[in-house]
Structure 1
Amino acid sequence: MSNPFDDQDGTFLVLVNDEGQHSLWPAFAQRPDGWTVALDESPRDAALAYVEENWTDMRPLSLREASAPRAS
């Protein structure tokens, strides 16, 4: 059995969690708790392009906020 996450011809969702992290997810698979759909069913290439365009800072949101400059 092949890994559905590697299926070049598969249909994927892009999921996002509360930390702003993105994930490609096979469209047929049940979504994990805590993740919402950011991009509906799309070819793998389109889903990857969405992630590359929209997830530009790999740090979790809580870390980005903690390291942001504070106003004085």
Structure 2
Amino acid sequence: MTPTPSHRVLVNDEEQYAIVPAHFPAPTGWREAGHQSDAASCETWVDQHWEDIRPRGVREAADQP
């Protein structure tokens, strides 16, 4: 039997990630990122997927000439 995930990863519109306990509801402005597991696995997943920690708006502004 697979254990119930204890945590999940959320992402917001600025492409920032958060790890929250699995039973917490997603706050306004946040949605499921698609990974649920124990906290350590969630942290590893975020490390692999969050390549640039600057908010999306800041990255886009920096790309403007």
TM-score with structure 2 setting the length: 0.84
3-state DSSP of counterpart to 1:19: coil
Contact 2:6 2:22 (C-alpha < 8 Å) held by counterparts:
yes
Structure 1 partner of 2:41: 46
Bigger CA radius of gyration? 1
Shift in Å, 1:46: 1.1
Aligned residues, how many?
61
Structure 2 partner of 1:28: 23
In 2: Cα distance, 1:29 partner to 1:54 partner = 22
Contact 2:35 2:45 (C-alpha < 8 Å) held by counterparts:
no
Q: 2:50 aligns with which of 41, 51, 55?
A: 55
- Unaligned runs of 5+ residues in structure 1 are 1-9
Identity of aligned residues (%): 36
Amino acid across the alignment from 1:66: A
- Unaligned runs of 5+ residues in structure 2 are none
Q: Which structure 1 residue ranges, 4+ long, deviate > 3 Å from structure 2?
A: none
